[in-house]
Structure 1
Amino acid sequence: MNILKRTVAKEFGTFFCSPVAFIFLGSFLAINLFIFFWVETFFARNIDEIRPLFEWMPILLIFLCAATTMRMWSEEHRSGTLEFLLTSPATPFTLVAGKFFACLSLLTIALVLTLPLPITVSFLGQMDWGPVLGGYLATLFLAGAYIAIGLFVSIHSENQIISLITTVVICWLFYLIGSDALIGFFGNRSSEILQLLGSGSRFESITRGVVDFRDLYYYLSITAVFLCLNLYGLEKIRWASNPTSSIHRRLRLCCALIIANLIVANFWLAPITNFRSDITSRKIYSLSDGTRSYLQQLKEPLLIRGYFSPQTHPLLAPLVPRLRDLLKEYAIAGKGKVRVEFVNPIENPEMEREAGQKYGIRPVPFQTSSKYQASVTNSYFDILITYGDQFETLGFRDLIEIKAKDEQDFDVDLRNPEYDITKSIKKVLYSYQGGGDIFTTLSQPVKFIGYFSADKRLPKELAAFKKEIMVLVDDLAKKSDGKLDATIMDPEENGGELADKLESQYGFRPMSASLFDQNTFWFYMTLTSNDQVVEIPLPESFDKESLQRSFMSGLKRFDRGFTKTIAFNTPPSPPPMPQYAMRQPSGPQFNALREILSREHIITEEDLKSGQVAPEADLLLVVAPENLDEKQLFGIDQFLMQGGTVIIATSSFNASFTNKITLAEQSSGLDKWLAHNGVTIGKTMVLDPKNSTFPVPVERDVGGFTVRETHMVNYPYFVDIRPDQMNDNSPIVTGLNQVTMNWPSPITVDEKKNRNRKVTPLLNSSDRSWLSGSNEVQPDFKRYDELGFPVEGQQASHLLGVAIEGSFTSYFAGKPSPLNTATAGGDDGPPPKDGDSNNVQSPEKELIVRQVDKSPGSSRIVIYGSNCFLNDTTLGINSSAMQTGYLEPMQLIANTIDWALEDQGLLDIRGRSHFARPLVPMTRDMQLFWEYLNYALAILGLVLVWIVKTVVKKKSGARQLELLQQLEGRM
């Protein structure tokens, strides 16, 4: 060991005897910083991670390691010192190990000098240090492999340039084997094998934060193989003038056996998946406890089948192995109850036909282009989850998320596959009731209505398909035990009166067989139960299996089973615009929120005008309420009194989006009711210097001509809330890394009125935020510098989200009920319809008796202080600013619903999206500060290395001088 230490010190010191070491370190830092800030555009990317630093590392290390090792043995050859080394007391193993560890030490110093980069990034967001540690670990192991290759090449060449080029070629081949450029020519299975052999593909797995022993061993095996070859090469040089002997043959055989075992062990370890560690902070690549709890509830076998084509889009191909590994973990966690299969439908026509007819899985055409031509590839990228007769499918759109770098370059990653798969497992698990007969679990009768034109007006295919529909409906009606009724209507009868109603109520419009066909017809299908209406879309192919699948999917929307019902109240939607109109409706739309929630819950639209909430509702969600009257308020109040949960998103202002953005005061009608329950929504808005960006039109004067431009600016009205401003003790904010509250108002909770209730603050603005009563939304950067708005009053943190649990008293206690005025044909609305459970003919006799003045302790009110943060337009603005789908507000509401309904199985994994960790908002000056700070720290690091080198050199010189003086004294 003493000789080894001296050898490492000697070789390491050789780097610093010339500018070689500083050229290496300086180049390494300069290239990494250039890639990070310029090539990968860290600030524009807007994710608090340093993966861009490691994405280029496998390629960068090829050239750096080749440049470091090219002279290690070649210089010994050229200068004639190799023979001296081979006759020294140091063994060949010591010489090889000394040079190896000297090169690795130099690279370690280079990596240490990059540490200021992740440290500074950690100040700009909630960075996960797991992938950072994994990245550095992978870099060291990969560098070790490349250095071993470089030493092996150098021992066989006296020319440093030849050593450099040969090392680069060999290392590049190892990288190319598993690269996207090569695996695109092969199928999935072949691609996975190539990725197991590629140095770059193994590297990517570790940098994600998954340390797999198989990946580490792969690099160790390459290192050991080439070090063994290096050692053998030294021995051959020692034997050069000697005849071959049995010792030589035994050593050759020993090296061959060692190398063979090192290589074979990779294949032996390949199927073993237990030796891996997820070092991410939230274990995002490991199955959560919530997933395991659902798998433990399985009573029957669950099948998860992946449909993956050999040829797919090049951005999707690297995701297939990760999905395979994840699905295998489901099989392991299922303990025999989960079967996982992987199918290539193109090679199996029977499976492809079943996938299309039974499950609606069809290939998706992906447009791809290469150096020579553009082409369209039809491929499968789907997952099927089936349990009993229930099934769910996930396509590539359900599994991936996209972040735009620029107009032509995108990052594609798996969005949150565990959440999507587990959610589907939960759905099929809870839907499998009554031996597969869905009608046994329907709580209310369902009515099928077919809006069909007469046969003579329909195309021949649809006329025949109409008969198939009636046969299926009649068959299901006989099996439904009276729970399914069918009606056929022609919208064009009676002068088209029904057609006008369908167009205004549902947005249905006449169809045509082709773009230029003047003959129109009607062909729509709906299922109705109480106030819930579900449209049955036309299947892609007019066959019996596709029809039955579409019909049963619609029926499942009414199957309460374990699925909860959310009563959803939003402002009245504007009337549908004509098909030819260019302008979109100006009113707020909440379709994205509605679509997200409907994946797990039954959503019923609730206008509350009857003074009641639908009796089947498990929770009431009120978003952006506007001028609620007394009866609507009474419906909310009584739902709370009955022990329900009311979630409200409201503020004192609302933004409208027409030709320009305007902000106006909005009365929700809830002010007195909220004040009665100890909550006040301020008549101001919260502005915060810690905010999100917003595309704002800016006018610029050019020689008297006004140019109107759109700039991305930090916008104080978009309050950016991070985990340090969230209550981490509440499961409602579990998994959320960031939420933007748009144009929010402050919430004040009366402690006296709520002293016997549990009050949980959820969201707060920063302590530098302030309040403003102005409705001016256009920033003025000339007058107010970088903020664009004046800072008014005292700066302090303001409450923007709160949950209150406990017993409440009714706002209407001791007051006449608003429903006393609900007489038939009165001013409060049209007369009740027959059979409508939400309308009562005799309110004086029934409704007054049912009025509840005090709620049980299970009642909850959750309030978020914004009208706008959930509407489609605002979500679109935020998505545009972040260049990826922005789902955090909807995840917040989904978490709130799960918490209120005590269904928290998916809370821990809902917010694991890869692109859901944006940087803290920064001005341009702040971005420049952090960028140039890293440049300065890199230079400072090089200066410190030079200082240490100088001090060590002086001490070494002094020590040598002292030894010489001692020798002279003895002589």
Structure 2
Amino acid sequence: MQKYSNKGAYLKFFTYAVVVILINVVGVTLFFRSDLTANRIYSLSQASKDAVKTLSEPLTIKVFFTKNLPAPHNSTERYLHDLFEAYAAAGGDRFNYTFYDVTADESGLTDQSNSNKKLAQDYGISPVQIRIIENDEMKFQQAYMGLVIIHGDMMEKIPAITSTDGVEYLLTTAIQKLNNKVSAFMALKEKVKIRFYLSSSLEKVAPLMGLDQLPLLPRAVEELAKKMNLESLDNIDYAFVDPREDKTLNDLAAKYDLMVMKWPDVPQQGIKAGSGGAGIVMEYRDRVRVTPVITSVNLPIIGTTYQMADPAGLETILSDTMETMIGINENLGYLADHGTPTLSPGGMMPGQPRSNMNAFNQLLSKRYSIVPVSLKEKNIPEGLKTLIIAKPTENFSDYELFQIDQALMRGTNIAFFLDAFKEIMPRQSMGMGGAPQYVPLNTGLEKLLKHYGITIEPAYVLDESCYKQQRPSAQGGGEQNIYFAPIIKDGSINRSLAFMNNIKGLITMQISPIMVDQDKLKQNALVATRLFSSSEKSWTMADRIDLNPMFMSPPTQTSEMKARDLAYMVSGEFSSYFAGKPLPAKPAEEKELSPEKESPSAATETAPNENNTTAPGAEKDALVAKIETRNAVITKGKPGKIFVMGCASMLQDNMLDPQGQSTNAAFILNVIDHLNDQDNIAVLRSKNQTFNPLAETTPMIRGIIKLFNIAGLPILIVISGFVVLLKRRGRKRKIKLMFQEN
């Protein structure tokens, strides 16, 4: 009988153990990870890699996070660790990060966590309240979940990171902003002037106005100015001014629109009649911004109340205002006349009307410096990358259209958010209101767009795929279809473009269809890309517009239903609308003349020349008329892009969220980024979109899937059991036959 040896088994075990150890050593030294998610949300985007690779000096991130948080917040901390490892791998030695354990009070504080908590408070990071569920009981806990980014003497903070959605976008844009700050502050040729005007006379009446802390405000603003000066590389010139004389106060009020208050004698308090003003004025070259420090609010029943600006809030307002003034971000033009809605920048002048596009302005201001463009006062600035024209309601002269056309020829991209109708609200009479009227708009931009091959139809798109509103119980409850608010589903969105790749749903309102002239586009070698359209069950309302949902219903003729194109991006070398046409004349400025000055002027113009000689200036005018000018019109432009959508309501506050998390906000910002050649940022922003609707299916397919889940899976299990049983029986037979043969 052969003697069995264990040497071979021991040798195999030892070899396998050595191989396992070596594989682990290799895994530690050579980091490798594969991201199998659809949008590679756990991999660093190219924009993030570029941001850390171009750091001019070391950048440090301090993360303050409470340990042992319940799900889902514990995964957020793990995600941050992995994300910063990827940043560090791309940024090298210039990217550093540190996690600080800041345990909440109820969990017990150690000396180290106490020190970390104080450090977090010094950086302006405060705890947030999170909801946890333990032992079938819901509780609330205070937790630190913020970070600060330090680049030289400058700092950006993200006070709360409660989820992983959009974290990479926030970090990368903050790093880019710090890089831009360094370059902008080093390029400043003069300092930014900040003047804090506060009349000392206000100290006596401040307690009566409920402003007991007003005397402490100058010290707080001075400390804030010192901090901003340190972060801006000593580029701030700050001074406190006490305007005591009425003349000085009135001059300042007229120049800067400062808030001025006057009060009568108050004998009971020993206060004499007087006046005073307050406000913070920031100036850089010809740019001026005013930030009010006292605001008045008229409340029902209570009356007028006064509020003082919070110093902590002033820091954010003044920093944002300064960044806009010195141009840290890339300039973005916005047409500020012809009836377009007002954007409310930081430091809005007192008395300006409230805008319904605050969210749009807030989202844009995070990435761009908004430059108001007034065609009635001056031309479109040279070198402007993109101009936004949103909801104009006044006519454009040919000269103003010429300015827009030539800006496009020079390479300025233009985003048109236009309405086909102007809503006119009826006058209130005897307490009775009426339905609004919708008058077709014809501002002159229509002929410009038609020349480029784009036409916005004077109609509204109605769609069975629309927003549904809950009816009040008094009207029977249920849902009311708002047909004029189409919901754009995934199948109707063109996601072939990079900036549209992860936009899977939109909601619009009062949107008009767009038609393209393919012959004209082909003739000018332009490319028109449809971005999204309505569903196949949509129709249009033209001529008589009535948007009362109670009187709307789909058409009886199904032939009227079809998909309508709703947004286009057109690119290429545009041809000028004014090619071969006379140069438009600039409208003469209207000047009001007094009756005394009007008559002599008229007499001078009509009086005959006694000596029958040429009137003064006539020879000059005749010479100017004979001069021929060549190349006054750019007939063929540089490569450019225009975006056209017949819906300006998509920019309103009820359609966008200030945080930019909705698909509507992501779409609008991605379009602007695409026009500014920032597709990498657009891709980064939208890759974390959490809106993933299920694909549309027919009732039959849904029934088949349901039947398979109910009956199909159990049948498959039974069949699998029979197959296993048959295999076992077959194996038994083979073994039995083997022993019978032996």
Q: Say if 1:805 and 1:380 are closer, same or farther in 2 by CA, change over 3 A.
A: same
1:382 to 130, 135, 146: 146
Equivalent of residue 183 in structure 2, options 428, 433, 440? 433
Kindly indicate whether the alpha-carbon contact (under 8 Å) linking 1:692 and 1:921 is maintained by their aligned counterparts in 2.
Answer: no
Amino acid at match of 1:325: D
In the other structure, the counterpart of 1:175 is: none
Structure 1 position 302 matched with structure 2 position 59: yes
Q: Which amino acid in 1 is paired with 2:420?
A: S
2 CA distance for matches of 1:276 and 1:684?
Answer: 53
Task: Name the residue aligned to 1:636.
Answer: 404
Q: What residue number does 1:527 align with? A: 282
SS at match of 2:157: strand
Aligned length: 639
Pairing 1:694–2:468 present: yes
Distance 1:266 1:475, change over 3 A: closer
Q: In the alignment, which of 614, 621, 629 is matched to residue 388 of structure 2?
A: 621
| Partner residue, 1:915 | 690
1:463 corresponds, among 196, 204, 215, to 215
Check conservation: 1:654, 1:743, Cα contact below 8 A.
Answer: no
1:869 to 638, 650, 656: 650
Distance 1:501 1:931 in 2: 73
Give the TM-score of the pair, scaled to structure 2: 0.69
Specify the alignment match of 1:101 in structure 2.
none
CA contact (8 A) 1:590 1:872 kept: yes
Report the alpha carbon displacement of residue 342 of structure 1 after superposing the two structures with TM: 0.6
Partner of 2:711: 939
Which residue in 2 is equivalent to 1:720? 488
Q: Measure, in 1, the Cα distance between the counterparts of 2:139 and 2:489.
A: 44
Q: Distance in 1 between matches of 2:140 and 2:275?
A: 33
Counterpart of 1:339 in structure 2 is 96
- Name which of 671, 675, 681 aligns with 1:906: 681
**Alignment pair present for 1:454 and 2:229:** no
User: Does 2:287 match 1:287?
Assistant: no
Give the alignment partner of residue 357 of structure 2, picking from 563, 573, 590: 590
Contact 2:102 2:113 in 1 (8 A): yes
Tell me the amino acid that sits aligned with residue 291 of structure 1.
Answer: S
Could you tell me which amino acid in structure 2 is paired with residue 918 of structure 1?
P
- In the alignment, the residues of structure 2 paired with residue 365 and residue 498 of structure 1 have an alpha-carbon distance, to the nearest angstrom, of 48
RMSD over equivalenced CA pairs, Å: 5.5
Match for 2:414 among 646, 651, 665?
646
The alignment partner of 2:524 has SS state of coil
- Distance between the aligned counterparts of 2:539 and 2:664, measured in 1? 22
Q: Which position in structure 2 is the counterpart of 1:840?
A: none
CA shift for structure 1 position 931: 6.9
Work out whether 1:768 is the aligned partner of 2:533: no
Query: Structure 1 length normalisation: TM-score?
Result: 0.55
Give 5+ residue unaligned stretches, structure 2. Answer: 1-5, 104-111, 263-273, 295-307, 345-352, 427-432, 595-623
1:725-756 Cα distance to aligned partner (Å, 9 max, x none): 3151x344244333334332222222343322
The 2-side partners of 1:483 and 1:734 are apart by 43
Task: Report the Cα offset of residue 341 of structure 1.
Answer: 0.5
Q: Alpha-carbon deviations, 1:623-673, whole Å to 9, x = none? A: 222234326545433432432111111241478999999783451612122
Shift of 1:598: 0.8
**Match of residue 78 from structure 2:** 321
Deviation of residue 938 (structure 1)? 3.7
Q: Distance in 2 between matches of 1:487 and 1:565?
A: 33
Distance 1:482 1:970 in 2: 100
Q: 1:650 to 1:381 in 2, by over 3 A?
A: same
Matches within 5 A, 1:179-198: none
Please report how far the alpha carbon of residue 295 of structure 1 lies from its aligned counterpart in structure 2 after TM superposition.
Answer: 1.7
Can you list the C-alpha shifts for 1:487-528, whole angstroms capped at 9, x where unaligned?
Answer: 85879968998999999x99x8999xxxxxxx9996543435
Letter matched to residue 695 of structure 1: Q
Query: Does the Cα contact within 8 Å between 1:537 and 1:550 map onto a contact in 2?
Result: no
Measure the CA separation in 2 of the matches of 1:910 and 1:560.
Answer: 23
% identical equivalent positions: 18
SS at match of 1:913: coil
Aligned with residue 125 of structure 2, among 361, 380, 385: 361
Deviation at 1:569, TM superposition (A): 4.5
Aligned to 2:331: 564
1:278 is displaced (CA, Å) by 0.9
Q: Which of 142, 167, 173 is 1:417 aligned to?
A: 167
More displaced 10-residue stretch of structure 1: 734-743 or 279-288: 734-743
8 A Cα contact 1:532 1:605, kept in partner: no
Q: How many Å apart are 1:905 and its aligned residue?
A: 3.3
Residue 617 (structure 2) aligns with: none
Q: Within the alignment, does 1:750 sit opposite 2:517 as a pair?
A: yes
CA distance in structure 2 between the aligned counterparts of 1:598 and 1:537, rounded to whole angstroms: 22
- Helix, strand or coil for the counterpart of 1:291? helix
Distance 1:431 1:483, change over 3 A: closer
How far does residue 287 in structure 1 lie from its aligned partner after superposition? 0.7
| Cα distance in structure 1, aligned partners of 2:562 and 2:343 | 43
Q: 2:479 matched to 1:711? A: yes
Match of 2:441 among 667, 671, 675: 667
CA drift at 1:338: 0.9
Distance 1:655 1:874 in 2: 18
CA displacement at 1:865 relative to structure 2: 2.8
Change (3 A) 1:495 1:430: closer
Other-structure match for 2:458 = 683
Question: 1:218 is matched with which residue?
Answer: none
1:408 maps to none
Note the alpha carbon deviations across 1:359-406, whole angstroms, 9 max, x for none.
Answer: 43333355768679987644321121222222211122xx45xxxxxx
After superposition, what is the alpha-carbon deviation per residue over 1:58-82, rounded to whole angstroms, capped at 9, x for unaligned? xxxxxxxxxxxxxxxxxxxxxxxxx
Which of residues 505, 518, 539 is equivalent to 1:738? 505
Displacement of 1:935: 4.2
Residue of structure 1 in register with 2:305 after alignment: none
Cα distance change on mapping 1:758 and 1:375 into 2, 3 Å? same
Give SS of 1:742's match: coil
Q: Kindly tell me: are residues 267 and 694 of structure 1, through their superposed partners in 2, closer, same or farther at Cα, counting changes over 3 Å? A: farther
Partners of 1:441 and 1:561 within 8 A in 2 = no
Asked if the contact 1:801–1:865 (Cα under 8 Å) also holds between the matched residues in 2, the reply is: no
SS of 2:649 mapped into structure 1: coil
User: What per-residue deviation string (whole Å, max 9, x for no partner) do you get for residues 790-809 of structure 1?
Assistant: 75626245252222331331
CA shift in 2, pair 1:500/1:885, >3 Å: same
Q: Which whole-Å CA distance do the structure 1 matches of 2:79 and 2:127 have between them?
A: 20
- Structure 2 equivalent of residue 802 of structure 1: 569
Aligned to 1:14: none
Spell out, residue by residue over 1:414-457, the C-alpha distance to the aligned partner (whole angstroms, 9 max, x if none). 212111111111111222127xxx2x434787554545353543
Aligned residue identity for 2:171: I
Return the letter of the residue paired with 1:620. Answer: L
**Greater helix content:** 1
Q: Secondary structure at the match of 1:862?
A: strand
- Kept in 2: contact 1:652–1:681 (CA 8 A): yes
Q: Distance in 1 between matches of 2:23 and 2:423?
A: 60
1:650/1:668 contact within 8 Å kept: no
1:859 equivalent in alignment to 2:640: yes
Report what 1:33 is aligned to. none
Code of the residue aligned with 2:126 in structure 1: it is R
